[in-house]
Each structure stands twice: as C-alpha cells, then as structure tokens.
Amino acid sequence: MAAAREAAEREPVRGPLSGVRVVELAGIGPGPFAAMTLADLGADVVRVDRPGGGSLAIPAQYDVTNRNKRSVLLDLKDEEGRETALALTDRADVLIEGFRPGVAERLGVGPDDCLARNPRLVYARMTGWGQEGPLAERAGHDIGYIAVTGALGMTGPAEGPPVAPANLLGDYAGGSLYLVIGILSALHHARGPRGEGQVVDAAIVDGTSHLTAMIQGMLAAGGWQDRRAANLLDGGCPFYGTYATSDGGFMAVGALEPRFYARFAGLLGIADEAPPREDLAAWGELRELIAARFASRTRAEWTEVFQGSDACVAPVLSLTEAPAHPHLAARGTYLEHDGITQPAPAPRFSATPTGVYAGPARPGAHTAQVAHDWDVPSLAPSAASAACAPSAGDARPTSGTSEVPGDAPRAQGGPSEALADTQDAPADPFEGEHPTS
C-alpha cells in the first residue's frame, strides 16, 4: 500500500484533487457524473464495472461521464470480487455508490464493511429518495424527484402541464453536484486532526429542495406566487422570457434592472410606445409588443442588434450550435477529445489547471494497470479476463491532452437503460439498484 501511495505522489499534478483516490461502483446518471467531476478535477477515479452491467444505451466510447477515469471488471456477487473491491477501498479516499438502501450492505461493501477497514474513507451514497423515509426503497427517476420538491411545478407556461427540464435539475444539479459538495466537505474533515471518515447521504430530493431556498423565502415574504408563469423569474414577466423570431428561432430576454431594460427597449425599438414596465396590469400589452417586434426579424439579425450591449439578450442555441458561440469558443468552454465535442472541465484554476486526459474508460480496460498502480495483487487474475475488453488506452497518458484554457501554464499530461426496478430479489442484489435518471 505504501508503494501505491508513493506512485500516486509521483503522478503529475492534474487539477486540485491530484492525489485523491476514488472508487466508483458503476451505476448510471448522477453517480457517474459526480465521479467524472472529481476526475476532471484531478482525482484518480477507478470505476468498478461488472460483467454485463447496466450503462447508457450508447457505445461505451461515447459515454463522456466516464472520461478521465480508469475501469476494472469485478463481480461483487462473487467472494473474490468483493474482497478485491474492498482491497481497493482500503487504498481509496472516497467510495461512490448509487444502489438502493441496503443493496451495498447485502453485497458486503456497505459503510460498516468499508469503514471498519479504512476509517478515513468518505463513503458517498447517491440516491433519489435518500437512505431513509417512506420512499427510500422505491424506484424513481429525475422527473419524479423534482415533482415532489415543487421544482417541476414551477416550470412551463401558465396554461398546460409543467415542462420537464431534461434531467439537469434533479439528477445533476440536485444530485451530482450536491454529492460532490458532500464528498469534498467530508474529505476535508477526514484530513483534519480527527482523521475521521463518514457516510455522505446525498438525495436528489434534498438537493433539489435546497436549490429552491431563495424562492421559498420569497414565497414566505409574499413576493412569489405559487403558480407557474406568474412571477419575475418564471416567465411571468414580459422582459424575462423567450420570444420567437421570424425564422423560427428564439431570443432570450433578461432585462430585469431598469437601466438594462432601457437599453433593451431602445435597441428593440419599443421605447416610445411601450407601457410603463412597472405597470403589472399592462404586462400583457407589453408582452405582445415585444413579441411582435422579435417576430419581425431573424434570430441572426436580432443577435447582431444586441451584440455587445448590456440589454441582457441572447440567442437561444441548440446543443450542436452552442460550441460555436463566439464567447464560448473564445473561452474554450467546449473542447474536442477523441472526435467527441464535449464541455471542458469546470471551474478553472490558476495554479492547478484541469483538462481531459483520456476518453471514456471502457469496462475492464485498466484492470492490470490499476492492480499495479494501486498495489492490489488480487486484481491481477482479473486482468486476463478483462483483456478481451476493447482497449480505451491509458487513462493517465503522457500526450494527447485536451486542456482547459486559462492563465496558468498547462501541464502536458503524460444515462439510458434504467436498471431493474425489482426490490425483493435476494438472489440478485443488483436488482435493487436505484434508477436515478
């Protein structure tokens, strides 16, 4: 184990989490995204895949949430596989799992099993409903989690049903990012004087509810109406929303402050005829006026009109259009690695720059490598069976890096198919996994 730590210390610094070791028990959705975020920040993330395990319904080489990671193949239902997984956690700082409550315990890799062997371990659990509560053992997906928190009920027009915001709000904002916050906080504690690991219970319902804190305060103060499209920030305000252009495109308007609104009205050409923006009774008239003006020109024409102004207006772009936006292109917000255009790691760091050093790890491609680097001899027998897996290359290469632009010199670095919903299946503990996307 000491040799493994020495090898880790010799690794080049690739982000602020360089030297942190993470074991990810393979899943889909928010868990892999959280692990990708840690890997993007420099952590050495080893994903424990299982033969025939569930994944995104796309080829492995396109699953960007597995970039910057390494993968080993282990069968956690097998005693040897379980012991090898525990040997990995002995050498890890963090473990991430996304099973339903009780599944990890049945597999023998629960918090008690792991923390008894590695008391400084951060044991991070990602679920939709949380480890406790009436729905804790029930299956679910993003849309259900954000539904019960009130977040889904805020999206969409006043007439008609709420609009699902993809799975960004629940899975990734309320789930993955809160899991990362929990991991980093617990890791800070574990590296403090007490040297104490702990369990992080990250539930999408908790994180999504937390995201609504400001609006809950406004609601309590009487400054928010508890219905869709009736408020300043939910499309109820005519100068905070989207408008169609003559070519079928859309422009986004966020001219909330008076001085920004004045610039917006002037460039749109409605300053002389628009009713006072403070007159809520005239908001319907103002909305119609704004809509008519935007409908008179194309998206490109309006983009040029507002370009460089403080009117707070932007074109609504598609996913394929976004990387070419001049500002995003100048910042390098997107990059290309192995032929895949993808978002660059975020945020950016002046002293410990990040980058994409390897494409998505294919299952089992790094079993022998991790056995050596982490000093886990019991992984070596698995390497032969993993050798038939398509090679993803070295997840910690010495060239071919796609780096994030910034001020610091760049170190040249050397979901979907839902898993089964069945709860009561002791013969196959994986059937209790939590689909969370």
The dihedral over CA atoms of 64, 403, 94, 188, expressed in degrees to the nearest 10, equals -140
The DSSP letter of residue 54 is -
Residue 305 to residue 216: CA distance in whole angstroms: 37
For residue 198, what are its two tokens? 């702990």
16 near 41, Cβ under 8 Å?
yes
- Comparing CA positions, the residue from 391, 370, 334, 366 lying closest to residue 61 is 391
Please enumerate in sequence order all residues whose Cβ is within 8 A of that of 232, keeping only pairs 6 or more positions apart, or say none: 240, 256
- Which residues does 200 contact at the CB level (< 8 Å), separation at least 6? 122, 123, 124, 125, 179, 182, 183, 185, 186
Amino acid symbol at 34: A
Q: What is the DSSP letter of 12?
A: P
Query: 425 with 432: CB under 8 angstroms?
Result: yes
Q: Is 141 a catalytic residue?
A: yes
Catalytic hit among 113, 171, 206, 375: 171
Residue 96 · residue 114 · CB < 8 Å: no
210 among known catalytic residues: no
| Catalytic residue of the set 40, 44, 75, 141 | 141
Residues that are catalytic? 141, 171
